[in-house]
Structure 1
Amino acid sequence: MVMTQPFVSQFTITGKLEDLSTKSNDCIKYLQLVTEQGEYWVKVAKELRKSISSKLKPGCLLKVTGMRRHEINKGKIKYKAYGIELLSKPASEKVISQTCNSTVTAKPKAKVLFCQKSTCWKKGGKTACELLKKELKNRGLAGQVEVKTVGCLKQCKKAPNMVIMPDKARYSRVQPQKVSNLIEKHLIAD
């Protein structure tokens, strides 16, 4: 049986808030957005749930950004919101111009996983891991990106190996001089 990795990418959807799905504590878990292209159910990141609960009402115009996960073998696309911008409130409400344009944003939790098994560690994984930590500290990202050493990533012949989250990007034969490029590609917001 062939296992396929899900395809993960960023998305931006601008549309009318049709409905909300809340948890028992009245925190919003899902948003139903309607656009010209169709209807989308978007899961709200935990970091945003409490801060947006009182601001959103059905009929609002929203700009939602986040990560889209396309599970090819299941034929499903899942959306997760990390940024929600309220563009306008429903016409039935009187709006004070200053409260209309509020923005709430949260970044996906970033992690870098390094294989620490002997093959990867001896072939440059330790050096690349230390260099990554140093580079993140120099760029002021050390508090935002967690660097973790993990067990075998099942690519021993292509050591050293690492995975960058939330993109789930896997890299083999990681060279220490390429670490800076990987930070630019995956960990610095556009």
Structure 2
Amino acid sequence: MSISTNAAVTEFCFEGRFLDFVIKDGYKLKGLLLGTSEGECYIKLAKHLRSAFDLRLPQGTWLQVVGTKQYNAKKDQVTLVGERVMAASADMGTVAAQIPVKTKPAKTQTILVCQKSDCMKRGGKALCQALESELINNGLEDSVTIKGTGCMKNCKAGPNLVMPDKTRYSKIKAEQVPALIDKHFPGDIREKAEDMRVNIPSFVEV
């Protein structure tokens, strides 16, 4: 871990284990939590990274994050902004994935489902049940989690959900779930879900 000095803004280069994403409003990616030798730290992702970041990144993956450290003297507050995020070598990644993160169980992908009352009345409850059943049928229950969120601001077109690749669906019905799972989780992804070992060449962009 190294930090270069400057006035209010400095550069940093942190290495550590990926712990979790930080999501705002139920579906907006804001940053990530990194476990370093000095403890857990929150790193806000630069705008260009948020839209392109792979939300399937397994917890425990060893990362190198380069960016700027901004100090606000008025608030006595430090903000870390990540400009580049890279995954470690295959060997390091495998070791990191094999060591469980104690705080939370490893989940590689998340389906976001609006759980506001309007969406629930329009079939949201049946949709959640269908998703859970279909994930189990396809052996994805350990690699994909369903997460309830607050309002997605389109309740009249509910129920609403967001798939791991950020594709958003409205007016989705329970009977459409099998086709939805087939589309977003093809056979090769299901096979990979059975093996959580990471095989990434030396420090590649995430």
Normalising by structure 2, report the TM-score: 0.43
Normalising by structure 1, report the TM-score: 0.46
**Is the strand fraction higher in 1 or 2?**
1
Q: Relative contact order: is structure 1 or structure 2 higher (C-alpha 8 Å, sep ≥ 6)?
A: 2
